Amino acid sequence: QMQLVESGGGLVLPGGSLRLSCVGSNMHFEAWDMNWYRQAPGKQRELVAAIAASGSASVRNSVKGRFTISRENAKNTVSLQMDSLKPEDTAIYYCNAVRDFRQAWGQGTQVTVSS
């Protein structure tokens, strides 16, 4: 069964950095579009960054210039480098894989930005 496992979350001071990773298993990883979503308490889940199977990448405006998404197909891994973190970045971050009409989700990793 296909599985996505996130890691790298934690508590960080404002202005700090974290790097999230998501490893996929039991899947042809390079064929899947990969996304990072986040959900803050009391808010809807929102798309943070996306990288297509082709390698084309994008991030939402509120994190542009601070977050970078990348993928390493040989390691079945998609990463989210988060710099200059702000308290409003606090959320559970989820890895998501999409291909055709199928999708899968990881269990999420907590990111807390606080002094």
Tens digit of each residue's pLDDT (9 = 90 or more) over 38-84:
999 999 999 999 999 999 999 999 999 999 999 999 999 999 999 99
- Predicted confidence at residue 98, as pLDDT, reads 98
Instruction: Using DSSP, state whether 91 is helix, strand or coil.
Output: strand
- Predicted confidence at residue 62, as pLDDT, reads 96
* Mean pLDDT in residue range 8-37: 98
Closest CA to 37 of 93, 112, 107: 93
